[in-house]
Structure 1
Amino acid sequence: MRGERRRAGQVRLDDPAEVLVDSGLVDADYVAAQLGTTFDSVAEAARAAVAAGDVSPHPLFEAQWIGRRRSWQRLGQHPVLWYVSERRRRNRIAPHPLVDPRIIFAAHPEARHHPYGALSYWLSVSGPGTPLPTRILPRKVSWSTYRAAAIDAAAQWRDEVVRERPELVGPTPALPATLATSPAVTVVMAAQDAGPLVRRTVASLQAQTFTDWHLVAVDRGSADDTAAVLQGVAAFDDRVTLVREGRCGEARALNVALEHGTAEHVAVLPLGREWLPEMLAELLAHAHHTGAAAVLAGTGAVARSRLELLSGRPVDLATALLRRDAVKDVGGFDEGLGGSVERDLMLRLTRDHDPLSVDVPALKRPDAPQPAYSDDWGSVVLERQLVDWEAAAARETQEDLVSHVMPVGTEPRRTVEWLGAVPREGSELILVGVRLRRAHHVLAASIAAIISGARFVSVPAAVSTSAATNVGIAAAAGSTVLLVRPEAMPPRQPIAHELAEVVRGTDVAAAQPLVVDLDGVVLSAGARFGPDSPHPELFLSGLPSSDAVRIGRCAVAAPAAPMVAVRTETAVALRGLDARFHSVLAETDLGLRARRAGLGGSVLVPDTVITSRTPYASAEELIGALSSLRSTVHAGAAPPPDTAPELLASAGLEVVAQRNRRVCTDPEERTAPAVLVPELVVRPIEGIHESPPRLRWAVDIAAPAAQRGDRWGDTYFARSLADALERRGQHVAIDRRDARDRDSRDHDDVLLVLRGLDRVTPRPGLLNVEWIISHPDMITADEVADFDLVYAASTSWSTRMSREWGTRIEPLLQCTDTRWFHPDRAEPDTGPALLFVGNSRGVYRYAVRSALAIGADLTLHGNDWTEFVERDQIASGGVDNREVGVLYASAGIVLNDHHLDMRRDSFASNRLFDAAACGARILSDRIDGLEEIFSGLALPFDNEHELARLVKPPYEAFPDNATRREIAHRIIAEHSFDKRAETLVDDAVRRLLARR
């Protein structure tokens, strides 16, 4: 029967355990390790996994990895059922970080048609010694090796986390496939005069993985915009209902909300509270599994039993789920009480039975704004029990080893990114987990166990991030520790050993990289202190990273970054990070204490860059951390004299004033906690009258930030242009599209837009220049009219549109970077016979399609070609731009083509100039001006017959080698980035002087 269903490609969804067994996605030993039991059969293990809820049935299947939306929970399905029934989507989903469906399909194309998906097929044809189908591991690891590690990690989690928590009521069970009512939960809210809190509070509800809820918000006659904000939310989410009442008590408002609800269960969400995304789903699963009238998340020092209620412990209904009929039976909230209505209701609800207390994380933050880690000294005490600093000081370390120490955050994907990114030579990664949930603990521990140089350390106590970091420092084997917070993304290029070299220097205690945000704008270049404030400012925050690079390596008062390098002996001598700091400013405190102890200062290394996923600190975190930092400063760890004015001057900026910026937890509330943070006021140094003139340029491109935009041609073009401008004494920042709204653009003189896919709004007060290098069909008359200077990479188009639009457009052709493109890069005719270097851009490009149609011996380098050509026809996914010139100079013929609008309007591509500068023979689609510009190096072909004739050696249609070399030198002289930079600077200076 099971075989018949598999052959028919059908999946039964009525029996989850049977489907688990059929699919092969049950490992009895792995399930047993998580539940702390044993099973007599696979079927018994499958039934136990389904009944337990949050238990993974197989080491290579993890529901929490599949996606954040948790679609199976919305549908009330078991995650394996949802996965195996997804069909086409399933083939694109990785059920585990070490399972890449693309690798399975490449080796086994028939796996696409397996009724249970790629993983089930792979397991059916693999043995214990089969390597895992993954790309993130540095070496091949067998399936049996990982299975053993996963089982050990699951058993460790149960021993260290579960068994030490007697209040835990089993793993979260699965939600039933169908619920008694829809919506299943009525969320009630009493709102009054709290408009600024509405969006954030409701957003935490809308972010719930369980989505079948109904919010009834009762406005108690608010005098502010609370009702209006709620009405706006309701207009875009039909699950939200606003009920307007006059001024009334909270109990009355909640009873009114109850009357508008129809769900089986009720939850209370006060304004200012924020639920974690899984809370409703987990509480509802427990409620359905037990039938309890009240389910309480075991969060904080709150009452969990009737006895505790009677003894006076606080009640928190924001972490509870109640049966609606039970609430109605006891009369709802008592409107005659002036306060303590929550305690009164719970006492009446629990008259006969204790509430069910479950260990479910519920809230993002407490009610009132306060430091991110309120029990600071509790962490200090716990840390003393966890870390033996004397033993750490006595241990020998390896001089050439750098130990990355990272407390594990809340997101498993970030942990896996680090596991796959840390260099294996000369580095180790120590992950420190603090009472992690099952999925995250098992993933981190099992993957770390199979990667050389990675270790996972579990901390049984709930401690701060700083205390967890100290546990890792004490376990480090390297002579240098790199302290990493979870918000730091792995750097695109290895930087650990460069930072380690800096802290090995004399009088250096700590070194930090340049920290940028997701848009590529500087977030922190260290901490600076003014003469009259104990509070630090993030140096260079908001400026482009090019300013930091221009300043170069320099001393800073203290580090302020989610990644800091410290000598291990220094960290141990200082007893690590102060555990009172939850996370932010802990490294600043460490740097100040190191300086006071005579262990050295702090250094910024701007040519090492990391990206932070989040801002440096929230207002609550910063206010709490600053109170602890003041004690460090007052204890004698005063910062060094401020050198920021001198450093900024080297970047072309002068300090004109210093002011204080108010950081507040609630800007609308005058009594809310707040601090004053110093802030430098800067302006650009006027360099236009210098000789040669020096301006600040912002080069705007359409490429996205980070790795997504690194392979764009616009990015290479902008870098080469920026280098050429810098060689002429200019200060240049490259702003990708995510960073074009940075405030610090007001310090620039010139905004140069390299017009690609995006239209950019000119910046008032700057000289706004547009250089149209592609996509002329996207340009309009009103766009060019807004700019002070306009160039276009086509002579004919510039002339025609200047006449039609009445706006002067100067021709300025594309060009080449002569550092990488010149005829001496390689011997002619020693490389590929026919070459194309470029990405597909989602289309089967004309040049490639034509070459393959005639059966030419084409060498193809570039991304996104697998949709159009076979994998074995792709030489590589791309070539470093600095090495492309070697291919061009050695090739028999280089192929080129253009976008249709560029071809029609004769916008000669950058590839033409690069190849011509190498003296290459070029075949291109036809545009005007090929002969005039390239003197016979670039010939057009109009069809496949012409291409077939021209690609045959001895290439009689092209000049000989000596002539091609002469033409290449002319191209270099006339069409280099340096030549274009000369034009741009001269025109900009002339226009700015005329304006002034």
Structure 2
Amino acid sequence: MRGERRHQVRLDDATEVLVASGLVDTDYVAAQLGTTFATVQEAARAAVAAGDVSPHPLFEAQWIGRRRSWQRLGQHPVLWYVSERRRRNRISPHPLVDPRIIFAAYPEARHHPYGALSYWLSVSGGGTPLPTRILPRKVSWATYRAAAIAAAADWRAEVVLERPELVGPTPALPDRLTTSPAVTVVMSAQDAGPLVHQTVASLQAQTLTDWHLVAVDRGSLDDTAAVLQGVAAFDDRVTVVREGRCGHAQALNVALEHSTAEHVAFLPLGREWLPEMLEELLAHAHHSGSSAVLAGVGAVGRSRLELVGGRPVDLATALLRRAAIKDVGGFDETLGASVERDLLLRLTRDQEPLPVDVPVLRRPDPVPHGFGDDWRSAVLERQLVDWDAAAARKTSEDLVSHVLPVGPEPRRTVEWLSSVPRDGSELILVGVRLRRAHHVLAASVAAVIAGARFVSVPATVSMSAALNAGIAQAAGSTVLLVRPEAMPPRQPIAERLAEVVRQPDVATAQPLVVDLDGVVLSAGARFSRGNPHPELFLAGLPTSDAVRIGQSTVAAPAAPLVALRTDTAVALRGVSPRFHSVLAETDLGLRAERAGLGRSVVVPDTVITSRTPYAGDEELIGAMGSLRASVESLPDGVPGAHDDRAPDLLLRAGLEVTDQRNRRVSADPEDRTAPSVLVPELVVRPVDGIRESPPRLRWAVDIAAPAAQRGDRWGDTYFARSLADALERRGQHVAIDRRDARERDSRDFDDVLLVLRGLDRVTPRPGLVNVEWIISHPDMIAPEEVAGFDLVYAASTTWSARMTREWGSPIQPLLQCTDTRWFHPDRAEPDTGPALLFVGNSRGVYRYAVRSALAIGADLTLHGNDWTEFVERDQIASGGVANEEVGVLYASAGIVLNDHHLDMRRDSFASNRLFDAAACGARILSDRIDGLEETFSGLVLPFDNEHELARLVQPPYDAFPDNETRRRIATRIIAEHSFDKRAETLIDDAVRLLLARR
């Protein structure tokens, strides 16, 4: 009683705080629970008691983060959120709520007792735009609220599913069964009280009445346990076992300890069986003697091959022999979400499960919109789409349709929704039996974004079936099939891929696929003679090799994003249901070529990043088993093996094929009897470019910038790109490796490792010419680091000479430089732009030049990121300027400001900004370093304090040379300090070292 009283107090406290915060929307809670409330207090209490229910359309606990602090503390998520006074101002409680926008408009919101969202709701009306930047246009609060309530109601209607009746002979039950009860039904329950009655009612309606339900309550914070006890009071076939907060696997094992029947079934809360379910499964089990009888919708794994291949497991449609479960040790409590799959794989190691066709799940009412009257056939994977109707649909040539089955992570869905191009594209999200939070977020956000649609498939079908459902809804003449692991591209690629597949001889096109480190995962599939398993072309190589090869034909696509004409996809009847996910697109490309619809092409100037490897070993083995059957049915054998262009393509990247081998991929490398496949691999080596004239080397340029968008705005990235372009113009093969990619194995194919020394220390690569160019942060350099490189340069003449004397290792001076494509005097007319200009990021400090300029009240134009901590927003002209356009600002400015890190200033490391601005003929004011006059001939003047700065920034700038003189100096800077000039030096020195080694 004492525990129940404490729970009641917690419930009352949470309800009170929830109402006071204003984060309760009665209609929204009612839509989720399928009821109505007379007061906001009733709605708040129901939301707290129900567990996984959101109290407000703009609050979603699942969005806040992976670390569920409120669960550890035993709090309701809203109560935790409003009590986190310091952290909550940095937490976004919903994808469409950005606290920074609220604080910018209402600074007083920082001090609201319940946080930014509560304050915003208190001062906003229905017409107020949502405080978000991710939507392509402004959306009012009332518009989104209506969409969220509708999405919640739809989710409620689709909580329970129907399994269509399948035709198949079912044996009769024996007259006498071995045990009574005949079946123990196991249920693991936590915080799902509203689902109890409906779920148990479907069990009580079974034609087989000799069952025993063991329901384990996992420490529910709502009334789940009480509702179960109420059911048990009126039905002695129900036993309730109360446990603390524990894992799903532990709860199932506890339930199994209370079972006495020969067979065990599993009924999760929220599922409803059709009346014949248990009787027919039990008849099959007794007739066959099988330890595992598996039914379910077509996408559910019902054979060991399908299970190993990655098809989902659904124990709600299974009947298992209790003794067999005991023999394999029950559920593995050390695992997470894969416990059911793991048990079935162990249970069927020596005996194939019995796949059966029986009616399983109840039909939802009403039928979900979009599937017509033929609902029973629509849920089945192979009958999910009316392909004849899809073929008759009219599509638009001006539109590209993205079809994306929604994955398990809401943030990934929102990323795609916020990245939909404004014109010419649509995004079709296909949800397959989603959790409440994900379903409502996806459906509601899609509803308020033009060009986005949400299609719900309320059945457990595979990703292939979900893709097919989306293809049938596509309005564009080109369709992009996207798997959830594909991240939205950093640059638009849809129109480029659409342009390729519009070519008459092209059926499918894929972008270059890279991993999170920026290394190639796949440039398509290639096949070797006699092996039906594909190799991922160019896997492990830098992206520069793929770009150098260019657009090319491959045997088939192998990517989490593939483009094809919509009519091609319809003609092929979509993606084959034999494939759960990976290699489905490969099979699609093979079938397209076999049907004479065109070839497959990889387009390396379009790039996507995959969050995961292409496939896990078990998933790949299962998928290759399905693909093998498809390949071996081809009249000409293995596709592309007779005309394998891979060796010729690799030569374009400076690599030659020397041999071919097979790599064994095994589900269990320790067990030689475990399922495995042999995957072909080309053995390559770099072409000996040193003997060419002029010499052609492979360079790996290593920089400290992180991968993907995080590192795009780093100065190191711009510097490396300009240097790589200069080296490429001189016939070199160059890959830029950001810090995440520096361990790639394919570095062994390179000739030179060039480290642009920034924040990270890099270990030299044995066998390569190792070169370090110290362009910043000299304080971080140690003598032993320098001694490990074959060549060392530094962007300071004085520091190079001093360290050479002190450390005994030669360090050559090599100053920074400028990209003359973007920086030269003709970019703009002098004195037509900002009077005083600074272009650069804050780097987390209030930089000397900016602080000094604002202190004297100068008219400063500031471009860059991360300045809001130090200056007012209205003092920031922009968050940054494209590197190609910075030269226009420099050439037109009255004065350009510059400063250095303290160690760079002390050791006279002239910054890259000085060379860029000087190449434009700009007047430059900088903190003092040695060598300014010698290098820049009066274009750069130092200032030591604010008084000097105030004097020098005043027109007519008499301290600087006139326009004509500045132009002449800029011409000399371009001739002596360009990236092309530095590339000549680097190539000459590297070639000299390589020749000396030989």
Alignment partner for residue 497 of structure 1, among 469, 487, 495? 495
Query: Letter of the aligned partner of 1:902 in structure 2?
Result: M
Aligned equivalent of 1:18: 16
Query: For 1:342-421, what aligned pairs fall within 5 Å after superposition?
Result: 342=326, 363=340, 367-368=344-345, 382-421=380-419
Query: For 1:230-245, what aligned pairs fall within 5 Å after superposition?
Result: none
Aligned equivalent of 1:324: none
Q: State the aligned residue count.
A: 853
Aligned equivalent of 1:958: 960
Please report how far the alpha carbon of residue 172 of structure 1 lies from its aligned counterpart in structure 2 after TM superposition: 4.7
Aligned equivalent of 1:42: 40
Please report how far the alpha carbon of residue 509 of structure 1 lies from its aligned counterpart in structure 2 after TM superposition: 0.1
Query: Letter of the aligned partner of 2:618 in structure 1?
Result: E
Matched, 1:67 2:65: yes
Matched, 1:132 2:92: no
Query: Would the alpha carbon gap of residues 879 and 267 (structure 1) be closer, same or farther in structure 2, given more than 3 Å must change?
Result: closer
Please report how far the alpha carbon of residue 47 of structure 1 lies from its aligned counterpart in structure 2 after TM superposition: 1.0
Aligned equivalent of 1:56: 54
Aligned equivalent of 1:173: 191
Query: Letter of the aligned partner of 2:511 in structure 1?
Result: P
Query: Letter of the aligned partner of 1:384 in structure 2?
Result: R
Aligned equivalent of 1:178: none
Aligned equivalents of 1:362 and 1:447: distance in 2? 33
Query: Would the alpha carbon gap of residues 375 and 566 (structure 1) be closer, same or farther in structure 2, given more than 3 Å must change?
Result: farther
Q: Secondary structure at the match of 2:159?
A: helix
The share of aligned pairs that are identical, in percent, is 79
1:548–1:606 contact (8 Å) kept in structure 2: yes
Query: Would the alpha carbon gap of residues 453 and 80 (structure 1) be closer, same or farther in structure 2, given more than 3 Å must change?
Result: same
2:292–2:353 contact (8 Å) kept in structure 1: no
CA deviations 1:338-365 (Å, max 9, x no partner) are 955749999xxxxxxxxxxxxx996465
2:854–2:860 contact (8 Å) kept in structure 1: yes
Aligned equivalent of 2:982: 980
CA deviations 1:809-860 (Å, max 9, x no partner) are 1100000000000000000000010000000111111100110111111000
Query: Would the alpha carbon gap of residues 690 and 426 (structure 1) be closer, same or farther in structure 2, given more than 3 Å must change?
Result: same
Q: Secondary structure at the match of 1:654?
A: strand
Q: Secondary structure at the match of 1:622?
A: helix
Matched, 1:626 2:624: yes
Q: Secondary structure at the match of 1:928?
A: coil
Aligned equivalent of 2:435: 437
Query: Letter of the aligned partner of 1:571 in structure 2?
Result: A
Q: Secondary structure at the match of 1:494?
A: coil
Query: Would the alpha carbon gap of residues 857 and 159 (structure 1) be closer, same or farther in structure 2, given more than 3 Å must change?
Result: same
Aligned equivalent of 1:930: 932
Unaligned runs of 5+ in 2: 1-8, 165-184, 194-217, 221-241, 259-264, 294-320, 331-336, 358-376
Query: Would the alpha carbon gap of residues 159 and 532 (structure 1) be closer, same or farther in structure 2, given more than 3 Å must change?
Result: same
Aligned equivalents of 2:16 and 2:600: distance in 1? 61
Q: Secondary structure at the match of 2:659?
A: strand
Query: Letter of the aligned partner of 1:815 in structure 2?
Result: C
CA deviations 1:639-665 (Å, max 9, x no partner) are 222110000001000000000001011
Aligned equivalent of 1:320: none
Query: For 1:45-444, what aligned pairs fall within 5 Å after superposition?
Result: 45-162=43-160, 172-173=190-191, 265=244, 297=268, 342=326, 363=340, 367-368=344-345, 382-444=380-442
361-370 or 565-574, which deviates more: 361-370
2:189–2:269 contact (8 Å) kept in structure 1: no
Aligned equivalents of 1:661 and 1:380: distance in 2? 41
Please report how far the alpha carbon of residue 765 of structure 1 lies from its aligned counterpart in structure 2 after TM superposition: 0.3
Aligned equivalent of 1:199: none
Query: Letter of the aligned partner of 2:388 in structure 1?
Result: E
CA deviations 1:342-394 (Å, max 9, x no partner) are 49999xxxxxxxxxxxxx996465552899x9999999992233100000001
Query: Letter of the aligned partner of 1:841 in structure 2?
Result: R
Alignment partner for residue 943 of structure 1, among 934, 942, 945? 945
Alignment partner for residue 676 of structure 1, among 672, 675, 678? 678
Aligned equivalent of 2:548: 550
Query: Would the alpha carbon gap of residues 867 and 13 (structure 1) be closer, same or farther in structure 2, given more than 3 Å must change?
Result: farther
Aligned equivalents of 1:308 and 1:173: distance in 2? 29
Query: Letter of the aligned partner of 1:856 in structure 2?
Result: A
Query: Would the alpha carbon gap of residues 300 and 740 (structure 1) be closer, same or farther in structure 2, given more than 3 Å must change?
Result: farther
1:298–1:304 contact (8 Å) kept in structure 2: no
Query: Would the alpha carbon gap of residues 268 and 456 (structure 1) be closer, same or farther in structure 2, given more than 3 Å must change?
Result: closer
Aligned equivalents of 2:422 and 2:654: distance in 1? 40
Aligned equivalent of 1:823: 825
Q: How does the TM-score come out when normalised to structure 1?
A: 0.81
1:520–1:705 contact (8 Å) kept in structure 2: yes
Query: Would the alpha carbon gap of residues 168 and 146 (structure 1) be closer, same or farther in structure 2, given more than 3 Å must change?
Result: farther
Q: How does the TM-score come out when normalised to structure 2?
A: 0.81
Please report how far the alpha carbon of residue 162 of structure 1 lies from its aligned counterpart in structure 2 after TM superposition: 3.5
Query: Letter of the aligned partner of 2:793 in structure 1?
Result: Y
Aligned equivalent of 1:6: none
Query: For 1:632-781, what aligned pairs fall within 5 Å after superposition?
Result: 632-636=630-634, 638-640=638-640, 641-781=643-783
2:562–2:585 contact (8 Å) kept in structure 1: yes
Aligned equivalents of 2:702 and 2:890: distance in 1? 28
Query: Letter of the aligned partner of 1:147 in structure 2?
Result: R
2:420–2:451 contact (8 Å) kept in structure 1: no
Q: Secondary structure at the match of 1:471?
A: helix
Alignment partner for residue 856 of structure 1, among 850, 855, 858? 858
Aligned equivalent of 2:483: 485
2:11–2:48 contact (8 Å) kept in structure 1: no
Matched, 1:541 2:559: no
RMSD, aligned α-carbons: 3.3
CA deviations 1:944-996 (Å, max 9, x no partner) are 11001100000000000000000000000000000000000000000100011
Alignment partner for residue 447 of structure 1, among 445, 448, 455? 445
Query: Letter of the aligned partner of 1:691 in structure 2?
Result: S
Aligned equivalents of 1:376 and 1:600: distance in 2? 37
2:12–2:45 contact (8 Å) kept in structure 1: no
Q: Secondary structure at the match of 1:589?
A: helix
Q: Secondary structure at the match of 1:782?
A: helix
Query: Letter of the aligned partner of 1:572 in structure 2?
Result: V
Query: Letter of the aligned partner of 2:821 in structure 1?
Result: R
Aligned equivalents of 2:590 and 2:325: distance in 1? 49
Query: Would the alpha carbon gap of residues 170 and 209 (structure 1) be closer, same or farther in structure 2, given more than 3 Å must change?
Result: closer
Query: Letter of the aligned partner of 1:588 in structure 2?
Result: T
Aligned equivalent of 2:228: none
Please report how far the alpha carbon of residue 304 of structure 1 lies from its aligned counterpart in structure 2 after TM superposition: 11
CA deviations 1:896-941 (Å, max 9, x no partner) are 0001110011000000000000000000000000000000000000
Please report how far the alpha carbon of residue 173 of structure 1 lies from its aligned counterpart in structure 2 after TM superposition: 2.1
Aligned equivalents of 1:345 and 1:974: distance in 2? 74
Query: Would the alpha carbon gap of residues 677 and 128 (structure 1) be closer, same or farther in structure 2, given more than 3 Å must change?
Result: same
Aligned equivalents of 1:620 and 1:132: distance in 2? 45
Q: Secondary structure at the match of 2:152?
A: helix
1:299–1:361 contact (8 Å) kept in structure 2: no
2:826–2:920 contact (8 Å) kept in structure 1: yes
1:376–1:579 contact (8 Å) kept in structure 2: no
808-817 or 306-315, which deviates more: 306-315
Aligned equivalents of 1:410 and 1:268: distance in 2? 19
Q: Secondary structure at the match of 2:862?
A: strand
Query: Would the alpha carbon gap of residues 47 and 443 (structure 1) be closer, same or farther in structure 2, given more than 3 Å must change?
Result: same
Query: Would the alpha carbon gap of residues 713 and 704 (structure 1) be closer, same or farther in structure 2, given more than 3 Å must change?
Result: same
Query: Would the alpha carbon gap of residues 746 and 209 (structure 1) be closer, same or farther in structure 2, given more than 3 Å must change?
Result: farther
2:189–2:268 contact (8 Å) kept in structure 1: no
1:513–1:605 contact (8 Å) kept in structure 2: yes
1:52–1:171 contact (8 Å) kept in structure 2: no
Query: Letter of the aligned partner of 2:639 in structure 1?
Result: P
Q: Secondary structure at the match of 2:158?
A: helix
Aligned equivalent of 1:566: 564
Query: Letter of the aligned partner of 2:589 in structure 1?
Result: G
2:825–2:921 contact (8 Å) kept in structure 1: yes
